[in-house]
Amino acid sequence: MPSIGDNKAHWDDSHNWRADGDEWSASWGSTATMWHGSILPRIAANLPAGHLLEIACGHGRVTEHLLAHCYRYVGVDLAPSCVAFCRDRFASRPRAQFAATDGASLPGVADSSIDFAFSWDSLVHAELDAITGYLHELARVLRPGGTAFLHHSNLAEFVDASGAVTVENPHWRATSVSGQRVREHAERHGLHVVTQELVQWGSVAFNDCLTLLRRPLRAGPGAPPRSLRHPGFAEELGYLRVLDEAYRASLRS
């Protein structure tokens, strides 16, 4: 499935950004409703953040909302065109910086400097080599007590002994990544997984995972992570779309 090179080639192509990423918020009705209805309730306890890192910022679809909740912001992306786009889009925001990454590391981000790291609807396409690279880096750049919220694939849960994926994969999900594997690799790097929520993202399978992890203040085992399966994620999006149409669309027209 998608390698780091595949991802770079795909997302560096401007033809894949017809509406600058807002097209992928259609299930909510708008990016604003996606932010307020599905993202913010899951990360609000981590905000405001002094220094916030966004991994795979794309064209700034969620960046606009994150900037309102931090003092300093750095966004990274493996696609140079995305970095250039965001630099232009947010040129008036002096506390926002954007940098290119190789798809697995965080060059230029100082040790123990990040209060909160975030990634949404992007790392689902990253295979385990990229995910483990970022986990290694998060262990370095998060301050003690700092947290990270990562949206990634869970498709490896549905790979059989022969290596075949036993469920549909219509959204180009990474097949080597699962919630369990992310948890295991996070712990190896000294990070503590707080919560993992498995969701059905455009699929009948629990193909995606939302992981909240933390760099602990001190060494040693933490509390067991909370593990959730959210069978009503499609209904969550559907009702938020109804609310968007009822309360936002009429104001936009």
pLDDT reported for residue 253: 58
Query: How high is the mean pLDDT of the chain?
Result: 95
- What one-character DSSP code corresponds to residue 48? S
pLDDT reported for residue 15: 86
Q: Are 80 and 12 in contact (CB under 8 A)?
A: yes
As to burial, measured by CB atoms within 10 angstroms (0-12 exposed, 13-18 middle, 19+ buried), residue 47 is: middle
Place of tokens 């009705």: 29
Whole-angstrom Cα distance, residue 224 to residue 110?
29
Whole-angstrom Cα distance, residue 226 to residue 220?
18
CB neighbourhood size of 41 (10 A) = 9
Task: Read off the tokens for 106.
Answer: 């965080």
pLDDT over 70 for what percent of the chain?
98
pLDDT at 219 over 80: no
Q: Which of 127, 41, 29 is nearest to 78 (CA)?
A: 127
Whole-angstrom Cα distance, residue 90 to residue 122?
20
Over residues 177-196, the pLDDT tens digits come to: 999 999 999 999 999 999 99
Model pTM score: 0.96
Over residues 123-179, the pLDDT tens digits come to: 999 999 999 999 999 999 999 999 999 999 999 999 998 989 999 988 889 999 999
Q: Which of 71, 72, 54 is nearest to 63 (CA)?
A: 54
Contacts of 3 (CB under 8 A, 6+ apart): 127
For domain 4-252, give its CATH number from 3.40.50.150, 1.20.1250.20, 3.90.730.10, 3.90.400.10: 3.40.50.150
pLDDT at 213 over 80: yes
Q: Are 30 and 244 in contact (CB under 8 A)?
A: yes
Q: Facing residues of 77 across strands?
A: 100
Task: Read off the tokens for 81.
Answer: 């065109």
